[in-house]
Amino acid sequence: MDIIRNIQNYFRNSTLKSKLQLQKAMQRKRVNFEEAQTVGLIFDATDNDKRQTALSYAEKLSKLGKKVKLLGFFDSKQESPDFTFGYFNRKNIDWALRPGGKSVETFLQGAYDILITLNPLTNQHVEYISALANAHLKIGPSTNNIYCYDLMIDVRNKNSVMDFIREMEQLLTKTNIKHGASKV
- Tell me if 161 sits within 8 A of 54, measured CB to CB: yes
Our count of domains for the chain comes to 1
- Tell me if 114 sits within 8 A of 134, measured CB to CB: no
pLDDT above 80 for 176: no
pLDDT score recorded for residue 17: 73
Mean pLDDT, the chain, rounded, equals: 85
Beta bridge partners of 115: 40, 138
- When pLDDT is averaged across residues 34-59 and rounded to a whole number, the result is 93
pLDDT score recorded for residue 26: 61
Predicted confidence band of residue 141 (pLDDT cuts 50, 70, 90)? very high
pTM of the model: 0.83
Comparison of pLDDT for 77 and 26, the residue scoring more: 77
- Summarised one tens digit per residue, pLDDT across range 85-135 is 999 999 999 888 889 999 999 999 999 999 999 988 888 899 999 999 999
pLDDT above 80 for 68: yes
Q: Is 17 exposed, middle or buried (0-12, 13-18, 19+ CB in 10 A)?
A: exposed
- Tell me if 101 sits within 8 A of 88, measured CB to CB: yes
Query: CATH number of the domain that 47 lies in?
Result: 3.90.1640
Predicted confidence band of residue 32 (pLDDT cuts 50, 70, 90)? confident
Domain assignment of residue 184, yes or no: no
Domain encompassing residue 133: 2-175
Q: In what order do the strands lie in the sheet with 134-141?
A: 86-89, 67-74, 38-44, 111-118, 134-141, 151-153
pLDDT score recorded for residue 54: 95
Domain assignment of residue 182, yes or no: no
Rounded CA-CA distance 152/55 in Å is: 21
Domain assignment of residue 71, yes or no: yes
Tell me which of 50-59, 71-80, 149-158, 175-184 is least confident. 175-184
pLDDT above 60 for 181: no
